[in-house]
Amino acid sequence: MIERHRGNLIKSTGDGILATFDGPGRAVRCALAFSAAARQIGLPLRSGLHTGEIEVRGRDIGGIAVHAAARVMANSAPDEVLVSRVVSDLVAGAGLTFDERGAFEFKGLPGRWDLFAASV
């Protein structure tokens, strides 16, 4: 499913995955597709998406954007695709819908982060 959405699987984290995409719209659509597929077998997924600069570390990635995505995911409810404001702003007009979930403070990251639940 990641490849179908032009993504790159970076690694499995045990009960999760870390992937990059060549555009935020494809990342959101991939997360929504994963969620729909998992729902069919009774497995609720939590997804968190953010876009930003990353540090390539061999076959791994790191940096503030990766930490931000992890914090977004940690605030996601089961069966929810949660995105940062930067993601929702970048995909404006792409046929996706976003519902506000509020502003959050993330440990180790500056400021307040507006989060949105994505849907088609």
Q: Tokens 């702003």 correspond to what residue? A: 89
Q: How many CA atoms lie within 13 A of 56 on its CB side?
A: 4
Q: What is the pTM of this model?
A: 0.94
Number of domains in the chain: 1
Q: Residue 72 belongs to what domain range?
A: 3-119
- Render each residue's pLDDT in the chain as its tens digit; 120 residues: 999 999 999 999 888 999 999 999 999 999 999 999 999 999 999 999 999 999 999 999 999 999 999 999 999 999 999 999 999 999 999 999 999 999 999 999 999 999 999 998
Q: Which of 41, 27, 116 is nearest to 80 (CA)?
A: 116
And the tokens for 75? 């605030």
Residue 111 main-chain phi, psi, to 5 deg: 75, -175
CATH number of the domain that residue 11 is part of: 3.30.70.1230
